[in-house]
Structure 1
Amino acid sequence: MSGRWEPGSPEARQAEGAGIFCLPVPTPFLVGPVNLYLIDDDPLTLVDTGPNSGLSAEALIDGLAALGRRVDDIGRIVLTHQHMDHIGLAGVLARRSGAEVVAIEGLAECLGSYTEWMAADDAFAERVMARHGIPDDVRLALQAVSSSFRGWGAPVQVDRLLAGEASLEFAGRTLEVFVRPGHSPSDTVFLDRDAGILIGGDHLLADVSSNPLIARRLEWGLPGRAADEALERPHQLEIYLESLAQTEAMEGIELVLGGHGPAFRDYRALIAERRALHERRAGKIRGLLEEGPATAHGIAERMWGNVAVTQAYLTLSEVLGHLDLLIAGGAVTSEEDDGVVRFACA
């Protein structure tokens, strides 16, 4: 679980002084509450919505009321990425308020065809898991869990499409838009350059590493392309590290408002810390392979034990991401036999 937003902290006061208010709402997930951000400008804008649940809706309504606002006052809803703890209530809120829904183009297709997209994601995950050694019974259990979670999200029609390097205009500010895939394929961050504030979604979090989960590319669209997708599995950690490098090079950021946990200031130090974490983890995985060749799931079991079963897709994503780095560096090789990939020290 991540830490929590800290009301009354210097960081919170700085954000509020710039007209950006955090509205934490509960989620049913291990990560804990998700931070929504209300931008008190014209139009009144909500960044992310929380999952599709009564508890989340109630917390949002209460948070708005504490600021003298109602759902009906929201004029624009902006979405940072496709995960259901961030987009689940978007459709409900848009219908109630008449707010314009804004997101990048690939995310718009995902959200408009939410049920079909989730089914394609599950089918893709099934093929990746089978190819990398996760047993049939574990895959079946994970698919059941994934299906049970789908109700926390819901379809929503996106009204305005954003391109990378676009901007969102308000009466009193401009938000610059930057696409930063990695944690998900659709991660988008928003910079209020005059205030020095970056609204970062889950791209970079203060207390926990933003796990680069293996996912279908947005450009694959619907329907999925069956087995071809598993063979073309995106190297999600490499994509994420490139996005971190792009954020590291940005100027004018004094404060980062994340999708979970407290706000933070020294984003470059945190990026260096995350990069070092991934280097250490890659080294550990290379060491585990000295025990002998293994599938990615087998490596996860060596590393985390039973957690590799209960959190099989998360740990598989972690291991495959670091194996991609090791293969690119010439430290590890891979070989496929009867549809299953095994890795070994080079």
Structure 2
Amino acid sequence: MSVPAVHRIEFPVDWEPGHVAVYLVDGPETVLFDAGTPGDDAREKLRAGLGAVGFTPADIDHLVITHPHVDHIGQVQTLLDAGSPRLYVPASVEQRFARDEADLAAVVETNARAAGVDDEESAVEMSVRSLTRNRRLLPPDSVSHWIEPSETVSIGGFDYTAVHAGGHQADHLCYATAFDETRVLFSGDMAIEPFRSVGLHVGLDNGVAETIPAFYEGLDRLSTLDVDRVYPGHGPVHDEFAASIAQSRRSLDNLGEWVTEMLDSGIETGAAVAAERARTDRENDSFLPESYGMLLWLERQGVATSTMADGVRRFRPAP
């Protein structure tokens, strides 16, 4: 079988590095990995990007989703409306999208308060809004194949093996295959150069305590792969797979050390850690699940200890 061409289409986003990418595999049947951002401008970007290499949205035979973040599922409906692609989605998304909104709101409110957030209502509204938006953008009834972790699926003439890599997002799957002798990985928001994706995992829902261990476990799984070329959702296509995994691990290790130093300086809550990080980097909202998750991880490792008072969990260095 001949080696397929892989075409990259970028959509602008408001956070580093300023774009999200999808990939068209032009093989015996067309396969598109991820679906970009929502909105009319993004729809035109998709059409223009496909048109530049001789395709239209109606020509996509298979659509594969790495994870259900808004910048990766925004044009799913455009593609479904234009043609009849088979839609492949991580299996655990089905249960996540069936989440009861009232229960989600109650859990997020409790966890936001525990993390030291002053305005729990905003955290609740954002979580519920994200759930309703994402299951509208990625309608579960349209899914052709729910992909299980470690499953190998034949898609468009090639076999792809799904590698579960949580931490950034709990359902996240990377897809490994080989084009002739070149081993490739469509990595979504993992194995990015030259930075690590933020640990959002489940946000402040049930499972926030697994944010950091899930990230490490995902990196462990990925590190067992032999990969020649990486097609990531952000940053450049690259051939430095092992280095990117090692860099992500160092980044998590360094974050743990930094948060430990914050505890030594008297910072006590997840919200305070996130605010301190936001002073030199991106938005507080993005950092909160990872920051609170890191504190819970440090407690699990015996580095920190915590007490609850008025629903707020306050951390300090372990004696």
Give 2:265's aligned amino acid: E
The question of 1:105 aligning with 2:91 is answered yes
Alignment correspondent of 1:329: 301
What CA RMSD, in Å, does the superposition of the two structures yield over aligned residues?
Answer: 2.9
Matched, 1:129 2:112: yes
Residue of structure 2 in register with 1:154 after alignment = 137
Q: Which amino acid aligns with 2:316?
A: A
Deviation of residue 125 (structure 1)?
3.3
The structure-2 alpha-carbon separation of the partners of 1:123 and 1:267, relative to structure 1 and needing over 3 Å to count, comes to farther
- Is the 1:41–1:170 contact (alpha carbons within 8 Å) kept by the matching residues of 2? no
Q: Distance in 2 between matches of 1:206 and 1:49?
A: 21
Give CA deviations for 1:239-278 in whole Å, capped at 9, x if unaligned. Answer: 0111101111112x10111001101212222222222222
Which residue in 2 is equivalent to 1:233?
208
5+ residue gaps, structure 2, are none
Cα deviations by residue, 1:179-230 (Å, 9 ceiling, x for unpaired): 222210111111122431100000221133111114169xxxxxxxxxxx65
**Of 16, 28, 37, which aligns to 1:42?**
28
Q: Residue 294 of structure 2: SS of its match in structure 1?
A: helix
How far residue 343 of structure 1 moved from its aligned partner, in angstroms, is 0.3
Counterpart CA distance in 1 for 2:66 and 2:166 is: 11
- CA-to-partner distance for each residue in 1:71-91, whole Å, 9 max, x for gaps? 111111110001011012112
> 1:182 touches 1:203 (CA, 8 Å); kept in 2?
no
Matched, 1:248 2:250: no
CA deviations over 1:280-318 (Å, ceiling 9, x no partner): 2211211221233612212333444497xx933322223
Q: How many residues align?
A: 311
| Alpha carbons of structure 1 residues 99 and 297: separation in structure 2 relative to 1, 3 Å | same
Determine the structure 2 residue equivalent to 1:64.
Answer: 50
Distance 2:100 2:9 in 1: 28
CA distance in 1, matches of 2:101, 2:237: 31
1:221 is aligned to none
SS in 1 for 2:209: coil
Distance 2:82 2:96 in 1: 22
Alignment of structure 1 residues 22-37 onto 2, 5 Å: 22-27=8-13, 31-37=17-23
**Paired AA for residue 250 in structure 1:** L
**Higher mean displacement: 96-105 or 325-334:** 325-334
Residue pair 1:27, 1:33 contacting (<8 A) in 2 also: yes
8 Å CA contact 1:190, 1:198 repeated in 2: yes
C-alpha distance in 2 between matches for 1:120 and 1:208: 34
> Offset of 1:23 from its aligned partner?
1.2
How many Å separate the matches in 2 of 1:259 and 1:329? 32
Partner Cα distance (1:25, 1:89) in 2: 11
C-alpha separation between the residues in 1 aligned to 2:55 and 2:102? 37
Match of 2:69 in 1: 83
Instruction: Name the CA distance, whole Å, in 2 between partners of 1:28 and 1:97.
Output: 30
- Of the structure 1 ranges 157-166 and 102-111, higher mean CA displacement relative to structure 2 is found in 102-111
- Specify every segment of 5 or more residues in structure 1 that has no aligned partner in the other structure, as ranges: 1-15, 218-228
Matched, 1:175 2:160: yes
Q: Distance in 1 between matches of 2:101 and 2:13?
A: 19
Q: Is the 8 A contact 1:77 1:94 kept in 2?
A: no
Q: What TM-score, normalized by structure 2, do the two folds share? A: 0.86
- Structure 1: distance between partners of 2:100 and 2:30: 30
SS in 1 for 2:193: coil
- 1:200 paired residue number: 187
Q: Deviations over 1:78-122 (max 9, x none)?
A: 1000101101211231122111111121123445x5xx6777656
CA distance in 1, matches of 2:156, 2:177: 13
Q: Secondary structure at the match of 2:208?
A: coil
SS at match of 1:235: helix
1:312 to 261, 284, 294: 284
Instruction: Return the offset for 1:132.
Output: 1.2
Of 287, 295, 314, the residue aligned with 1:342 is 314
Report percent identity of matched pairs. 23
Counterpart of 1:98, as a letter, is: S
Partner Cα distance (1:124, 1:30) in 2: 30
Matched, 1:280 2:254: yes
Higher RCO by CA contacts (8 Å cutoff, separation 6 or greater): 1
Q: Cα distance, 1:337 vs. partner?
A: 1.7
Cα 1:284/1:296, change in 2 over 3 Å: same
> Which AA in structure 2 matches 1:260?
H
Residues 37, 272 of structure 1: CA spacing in aligned structure 2 closer, same or farther, 3 A cutoff?
A: same
> Following the alignment from structure 1 to structure 2, what is the Cα–Cα distance between the partners of residues 56 and 89?
8
TM-score (ref. length: structure 1): 0.80
Query: Following the alignment from structure 1 to structure 2, what is the Cα–Cα distance between the partners of residues 321 and 73?
Result: 42
Determine whether 1:96 maps to 2:93: no
